[in-house]
Amino acid sequence: MKERQRWQPEEDALLRDYVNQYGPREWNLISHRMSKPLDRDPKSCLERWKNYLKPGIKKGSLTPQEQALVISLQAKYGNKWKKIAAEVPGRTAKRLGKWWEVFKEKQIKQQIQNSKKTGSSASNPPPTPPLVSASPEKAVQGAYDHILETFAEKYVQPYLKPTERMPNLNSPILSLGVPEPDPSITPPMVTVPLPPWMSHTGNNTNNTASSSSSKSTTPSPSVSLTLSPSEPVVVDPVHSDHPHPSRFFPVQQMGTLVQYCKEVEEAKQTWVQHKKEATWRLNRLEQQLEAEKNRKRREKTEEIEAKIRCLREEETVALGRMENEYREQLNALQRDADGKEVKLMETWSNKQMKLSKLVEQINGGLIHQHMISGSNHHHGLS
């Protein structure tokens, strides 16, 4: 069987001729009816005709209108490709399913590239490129964005530990911890505003970090920088043996430090995204392997069942042929026996007739002889 080899033009021509003469059925009789060998199983012939050779099937890439229609139908029906193919004329379910897999792979790669190219400014992120260049698909772009964002998460989130979840980006990135000073010896605090990107809409009062300086002789306070709600980074305090006119870092150094922290946070988010993507790919690969294994098992079972049915049919035909032969032999023997019996009856009848004639002859001779002897005796007396 050439199940995994490419179909040749002469095989396609033979398949078309067969369908024109006998219709798309009884694929196992192609070689017998067409008097030409076709080393293909019936299932392969059916799939070839249904997906490639059937009149009305369109070849080539999907048009922008067809792509937009497939995306909207997939969002409506899911991966029910037979149902989707019924509403897309000229396209088979297999062709649409393959196109969707390629389309989904391209969008995921594009999202990964966009996440790598994200700039340092969080307030003005670069716009996301459209999903496809064709204008008819822009109408369904928003719906597909939602599907693509939740597609990997629904497979990955059950396998992630609670500590591997994405951090809450609305929480304060920077916090400065200062011990409570004595109000009697501490001068008024001077508040230094953070850079503009530290302020988020709706959370200005909660996400603003403040710094203060003091010239008192109290012990130097400590400054702590929090990357996430779980891991603070502590900056060493200013030692008393190295006097410094200010108890805190300059504002320029603080901005640089915050920028570094932001880059670390972005790198962490990128790593989490890569890990999520790798987990999703592994899960999908396992599902594909399981589906392939089930398909091969099903095909093997169907092949064995077909062989068993063929053997049973051959057994039935052989038994019928043997029964007919035995019946013919029995009839021949019966006819021979009847013929021999008729011949024996005829022979016996002939012998019986001869015996009867002989007895009649003997009886007639005796009577004649008795009559002669009687007449002679009568003459002697006279």
Residue 190 reports pLDDT greater than 80: no
Residue 361 reports pLDDT greater than 80: yes
pTM: 0.30
Residues 28 and 113 in one domain: no
Instruction: Give the pLDDT of residue 348.
Output: 94
Closest Cα partner for 235 from 245, 244, 247? 247
Kindly report the CATH number assigned to the domain that includes residue 32.
1.10.10.60
Worst-scoring range by mean pLDDT, 93-97, 110-114, 148-152, 283-287? 148-152
In a domain, 137, yes or no: yes
Instruction: Give the pLDDT of residue 341.
Output: 93
In a domain, 316, yes or no: no
Instruction: Give the pLDDT of residue 180.
Output: 46
Q: For residue 53, what is the enclosing H or E element?
A: none
CA distance 123 to 120: 9
CA distance 111 to 30: 50
Higher-confidence residue of 108 and 157: namely: 108
In a domain, 254, yes or no: no
In a domain, 339, yes or no: no
**pLDDT tens for residues 228-268?**
444 444 444 444 444 444 444 466 678 788 888 989 999 99
Residues 112 and 47 in one domain: no
Higher-confidence residue of 205 and 257: namely: 257
Return contacts of 84-89, CB within 8 angstroms, 24+ apart.
Answer: 89/56
Worst-scoring range by mean pLDDT, 19-33, 85-99, 242-256? 242-256
Structural domain ending residue among the three candidates 161, 185, 212: 161
**pLDDT tens for residues 306-355?**
999 999 999 999 999 999 999 999 999 999 999 999 999 999 999 999 99
In a domain, 303, yes or no: no
Q: Helix, strand or coil for residue 232? A: strand
Residues 88 and 135 in one domain: yes
Task: Provide the total of helices (H) and of strands (E) in the chain, helices listed first.
Answer: 8, 2
Residues 102 and 28 in one domain: no
Residue 381 reports pLDDT greater than 60: yes
CA distance 96 to 78: 12
Worst-scoring range by mean pLDDT, 81-85, 121-125, 183-187? 183-187
Q: Give the mean model confidence (pLDDT) for residues 55-79.
A: 84
Domain total in the chain: 2
In a domain, 271, yes or no: no
Instruction: Give the pLDDT of residue 98.
Output: 86
Residues 45 and 100 in one domain: no
Beta bridge partners of 234: 224
Q: Give the mean model confidence (pLDDT) for residues 116-136.
A: 51
In a domain, 20, yes or no: yes
Closest Cα partner for 48 from 82, 3, 89, 84? 3
Q: Helix, strand or coil for residue 250? A: coil
On whether the CB atoms of residues 374 and 381 are closer than 8 A, the answer is no
Give me the sign of the Cα torsion angle 317, 320, 322, 324. Answer: negative
Residues 1 and 32 in one domain: yes
Range of the domain at 31: 1-55
Residues 7 and 39 in one domain: yes
Residues 5 and 84 in one domain: no
Closest Cα partner for 182 from 222, 224, 234, 217? 217
Residues 71 and 154 in one domain: yes
In a domain, 9, yes or no: yes
Residues 75 and 137 in one domain: yes
Residue type, 8: Q
Residues 87 and 113 in one domain: yes
Residues 74 and 43 in one domain: no
Distance set, CA 274 to CA 6, 113, 127, 164, 286 (Å): 37, 11, 21, 12, 18
Instruction: Give the pLDDT of residue 137.
Output: 41
Give residues with Cβ within 8 angstroms of 132, minimum separation 6: 64, 67
CA distance 96 to 88: 9
